[in-house]
Amino acid sequence: MNTALLRKIALRIISSVIVLFLVVSFVFIIINIAPGNPAQKYLSHEISTSLYEGVKESFKLNEPIYTRYIAFVKNIVVGNFGISYTYRKPVLSVISDYLPFTIIFSLLSFLIQLFSSFLLVYIVVKNKSKIVEKIISNTLLTLYSTPLFLLSVLLIYLFSFKIQLFPSTGFYSFNSYNLSFFEKGLDYFNHLFLPIVASSFVGIPIYYRYLLTSVRKSLGSHFIINLRINGVSDRVIFLKHIIKNSINTVVAIAGIELGILLGGSVLVETIFGLPGMGRLTMNAVASRDYPLIAGSILVAGILILLANLIADIIRIIIDKRLLKGELS
């Protein structure tokens, strides 16, 4: 592998790890200095004060915050995220139960975003109609301007309550264990359709705008004009030449968007009741599960780092000229 590429990758990893550590440390300190503690959820009129203090001691909440922070840093360095206060098992074990869903859900949303964006750009380029472009652009602008939580609620209202076509929450039906393989697949599709649509609609306008700008720039090049003069069809020009020249810009944006998706979509997973990293992190914050919060943020940060790193490497493979400058 090229030495310059290795150096840039190493610098990116080091800087990202530092930023990630600072973010997790900041979250840890803010949550610890806030009023309340995770032992309070066990406090009621049915247990004694001594038992409540015993719960605090088991969580090591009686120790000073700097002592807990030092222990936290040491555990992170050796890869030990500790035991979840809520689940009473290792944090990595808890995360491993939720992470696969987030990865699959994110990849599906990501692929739909890319495919839809390419398709819409192709329609605009092929039709060469200002009206078609205006309709598509205004529709996507409206979707992009609509808050994700509002879009999710509207989809649930229309398709779950009014039309009653798709379920409003959950990953599968309660009786899914009685269903055949094909019926289970259809059940998963019905439950994931609305969340994936809501999650995908956010990214499509971004890809569409960058891709359309890049495609139009390529359309005006002498190379494309010569191909048209030689009788090459617009479809072949678009698929084999324009997309290839425009893919670099899309990859740069894709690294960021995929990283955000992999980090866990808190709103979508919470609203639709999905068992993903976003919802897990939200519940961990609500219950002040410090080890689980730190572990969830670290895993999310690592996924974002990997997505951006892979995108940078792909861009360099596509365009070697990027090695002469800084990765962006």
**Sequence spans of domains, the chain:** 3-34+81-324
Hey, which residues does 157 pair with through a beta bridge?
A: none
Q: Angle 51-56-62 (CA atoms, 0-180°, nearest 5)?
A: 130
pLDDT at 130 over 60: yes
Hey, which residues does 90 pair with through a beta bridge?
A: 83
Cα distance between residue 299 and residue 256, in whole Å: 16
- 10 Å Cβ neighbour count for 131? 8
- What CA–CA distances, in Å, run from 186 to 105, 191, 268, 274, 276? 16, 9, 21, 17, 20
Angle of helix 3-33 relative to helix 290-318, nearest 10 degrees, comes to 160
Tell me if residue 175 falls in helix, strand or coil. Answer: coil
Tell me if residue 53 falls in helix, strand or coil. Answer: helix
- How many residues comprise the chain? 328
Q: Are 17 and 291 in contact (CB under 8 A)?
A: no
Residues 199-208 pLDDT 10s: 888 888 888 8
Q: Which amino acid is at 295?
A: G
Mean pLDDT, the chain, integer: 78
Tokens of 241: 């030449």
Cα distance between residue 327 and residue 5, in whole Å: 10
Q: What is the pTM of this model?
A: 0.77
Residues 182-230 pLDDT 10s: 777 888 888 888 899 888 888 888 888 888 888 887 777 777 777 777 7
Contacts of 235 (CB under 8 A, 6+ apart): 126
Place of tokens 């999710």: 152
- What CA–CA distances, in Å, run from 263 to 2, 41, 176? 30, 28, 28
pLDDT at 55 over 70: no
Please list, residue by residue across 186-204, b when 16 or more beta carbons sit within 10 angstroms of its beta carbon and e when fewer do: ebeeebbebbbbbbbbbbb
Q: Which amino acid is at 257?
A: E
1.10.1060.10, 3.40.50.300, 1.10.3720.10, 1.10.940.10: which CATH number matches 3-34+81-324? 1.10.3720.10
Phi-psi region of 211 (alpha: psi -120 to 50; beta: other; left: phi over 0): alpha
Report the range of poorest mean pLDDT among 223-227, 294-298, 317-321: 317-321
pLDDT at 250 over 50: yes
Beta strands in 160-221 (DSSP E): none
Report the range of poorest mean pLDDT among 152-156, 233-237, 281-285: 233-237
Tokens of 26: 């900041």
Of 34, 81, 10, 84, which Cα lies nearest the Cα of 298? 81
Cα distance between residue 253 and residue 272, in whole Å: 26
With cut-offs at 50, 70 and 90, classify the pLDDT of residue 327.
very low
